[in-house]
Amino acid sequence: MVETTQSYVCGVSDTPLLYSTIGAALDDVAERYGDRPALIVRHQNVRLSYREFADEVERFAAGLLAIGLRPGDRVGVWSPNKAEWVIAQFATAKVGIILVTINPAYRLSELEYALNKVSCKALILADRFKTSDYVGMVRALAPEASHCAPGSLKSKKLPTLESLILIGKEEEAGFFRFNDIAEMATRERRDRVAAIGAALTPDDPINIQFTSGTTGFPKGATLTHHNILNNGRFVAERQRFSEEDRLCIPVPLYHCFGMVMAVMGCVTHGAAMIFPDEAFDPVSVLKAVEAEKCTALYGVPTMFIAELNHPDFATFDLSSLRTGVMAGAPCPVDIMRLVIGKMHMADVTICYGMTETSPVSFQSMPDDDLEKRVSTVGAIHPYVEVKIVDEHGRIVPHGHQGELLTRGYSVMRGYWADEEKTRDAIDAGGWMHTGDLAVMDENGYCRITGRVKDMIIRGGENVYPREIEEYLYRHPHVEDVQVFGVPDHKYGEEVCAWIKLKAGVHAVEEEIKAFCKGQIAHYKIPRYVRFVEEFPMTVTGKVQKFVMREQMTEELTTQQSQSADK
C-alpha cells in the first residue's frame, strides 16, 4: 500500500456488494429463514415470520397493481411506525413503485409541497398521529375526496393524486382501507408481481426521501435498490449481525435511520425487526428490550439519555443487549460509558452519513476503544471513498480541517426534478459535497467538526460550535448543550450557548462563562447563555439550530429595542 498523508480513504471488504433488487433480497431471506421472526410490532400486536411477512408484502403489491399503479409511479407514505409502513416499503419495491417517505410532523403546506413535487399518484396514511389529524388535513387539501369513489380522486390542489389508502379498520369516504388493497390480490395479479419484479434492475430508483433542510424547500433525495439495500446490509455487517439478532427500532421509519439502517440491515441478515411503539417513548423501548430479549438497539443520543435517565431504568433487564447504533448527533463520553456499562451494549457503534448517501459513510468498529467512539465517527464503510478538501477544492493533509466529500455506490441518483440543486451537490467527478467540516487522522478515522454553514465568524475569527460544545460537556452540571451564532453589530456574529442541565442541579450564566475563562480562547466563550428544558428537534431527534438562532435573534432584538426606548 502506498503511504499518503492526504485526507483520502477508500473502504474495502471481503464481502462483495449485492447486485439485487429489494424484492429479490426479501424472497431470498424468506426462503432461507422462513420460520424465523421478521416483524414484531408490539403496539399493534403484530408478529410475522419471514415467510408470513413476504406473503403479506406480495399480497399488498398485487393490490397496488389492482388499483392502477404501475412501475415508476410515486406513492407517498405518511404515518408513524406501523407494520403497514414496512409492508408498503417492500411491496412498492417489489413492483418498481417509488416510495416517497413523508415526515409525520408535516402540516398542510409541507404535505402539499411534497406530494406535488414528486407527482404522487397515491398516498398511504395513518388516520392521525399525536396532534395531527391526517385524514382531516388530506380532506382540507382535497375536499373532493368526500364525494368520489376510492381511486378516482381528482383534486385541484393535488392534481396527480388518485388514490388514498388508510391504515386501520375505519371506513372513510373516498379512501381505500389498507387491508382491502391486499384482498384484491388474485393469483393472476400475484403472477404479475413476479413478472414485474424479474424485469426490475438494482439501479432503478425506489425511494424518495425529503431532506429536512434548514432553509428553503425540502429536496427529494432519490435512492435506488442498490443504494439502500447495500448500505443497510453493511451497517448491520459491522455490528456482526446474524439471523439470531433481534433489533429494537424506536427511530422513525420515514427517515433513513429506520427504513435503511434498521429495516434493510435486518432483512439482509434474517434478523428480527422489533418496533416498541409508533413513536419514541423511553418506557416502551425498555419494556421491548426486556420482553423481546433484543440484542441490539438503535437511537440518537437524546433517546439513550432519556432511557438512562428514566426513574425506573434500573428495574429493567437489558442483559440481552450487545450492540446497536448511536447516530444523528455527537455522543457525550459520559453517555457512551453508561450505554456500554449499564445497558450492556459493549459493541455499540457510531455512524455518520446523510440521506443523500443512503445514508452511512463512516461507522465505528465494535472493538474500537471509548476514545475513538466518542471523538470520531469511525472508519470508512466498504466501497465508499471520502476525501477532505479546502475551500479551493484541494485535498488537505491528515489533521487539517476541510469539507468532507464522498463518492461510491451509496451516492443518490440526484434530487428529484431539480437538476440545478443536484449539480450543486454532486460535482463532475461524482463527489457528493456534504457541507460537513471534518478532520481525518493517519488511520482514516474521521472527526466531524461542524457544518460549513454553522461556522461562526466573530470579528474575523472562525469559531466552530462543535469545539465549544465538546468543552462545555465537561461541566459537571451540563447534560446537553448546543452552540450557535447570533447577529451582532460590533463583531458580525456572537457565540450563544443553550444548555440543558442535569436533573436536580442549578447553574447561572456567569458560572458557565467562568468555567470557560482561561480554558478556551476568549472569542469562543459564549456571550449569551440560556438554560432550557429542551431543544427544538426534528422527528428523528436532530437538533434544529436554525430554529434556536431565530428565537434567540428575536429575543435579543426585542431586548435591544426595549433598551433603546428607555
pLDDT, residue 454, reads: 84
Is residue 507 one of the residues assigned to a domain? yes
We report the CATH number of the domain holding residue 106 as 3.40.50.980
What separation in angstroms does the CA of 364 have from each of 78, 204, 299, 400, 451?
A: 32, 30, 15, 21, 21
Is residue 438 one of the residues assigned to a domain? no
What separation in angstroms does the CA of 43 have from each of 80, 88, 308, 398, 415?
A: 12, 18, 22, 48, 35
Cell (9 digits) for 69 = 399503479
Total domains in the chain come to 2
Domain, as residue range, for 109:
50-210
What is the value of pTM for the model shown? 0.86
Which residues contact residue 273 at a Cβ distance below 8 angstroms, ignoring those fewer than 6 apart? 38, 39, 40, 86, 247, 249, 262, 263, 266, 267
Domain end, chosen from 179, 210, 241, is at 210
pLDDT digits (tens, 9 = 90+) for 503-524: 999 999 999 999 999 888 888 9
Q: Which residues of the chain have pLDDT under 50?
A: 1-2, 213-215
Which neighbouring-strand residues pair with 456? Answer: 463
Q: Are 96 and 71 in contact (CB under 8 A)?
A: yes
We report the CATH number of the domain holding residue 528 as 3.30.300.30
Is residue 437 one of the residues assigned to a domain? no
Is residue 40 one of the residues assigned to a domain? no
Cell (9 digits) for 217 = 424547500
Q: Are 111 and 135 in contact (CB under 8 A)?
A: no
Is residue 128 one of the residues assigned to a domain? yes
pLDDT, residue 215, reads: 45
Cell (9 digits) for 531 = 438554560
Q: Among 512, 529, 530, 528, which residue's Cα sits nearest to residue 520?
A: 512
pLDDT, residue 350, reads: 96
Dist. CA 185–CA 190, nearest whole Å: 6
Is residue 181 one of the residues assigned to a domain? yes
- Could you give phi then psi for residue 267, rounded to 5 degrees? -65, -35
Cell 457512551, residue? 336
Q: Are 434 and 405 in contact (CB under 8 A)?
A: yes
pLDDT digits (tens, 9 = 90+) for 269-287: 999 999 999 999 999 999 9
pLDDT, residue 534, reads: 94
Cell (9 digits) for 345 = 451494549
Is residue 517 one of the residues assigned to a domain? yes
Domain end, chosen from 210, 242, 257, is at 210
pLDDT digits (tens, 9 = 90+) for 440-495: 999 999 998 877 878 888 877 778 888 899 889 999 999 999 999 999 888 888 99
pLDDT, residue 214, reads: 42
Domain end, chosen from 184, 210, 236, is at 210
Q: Among 466, 395, 397, which residue's Cα sits nearest to residue 431?
A: 395
Is residue 418 one of the residues assigned to a domain? no
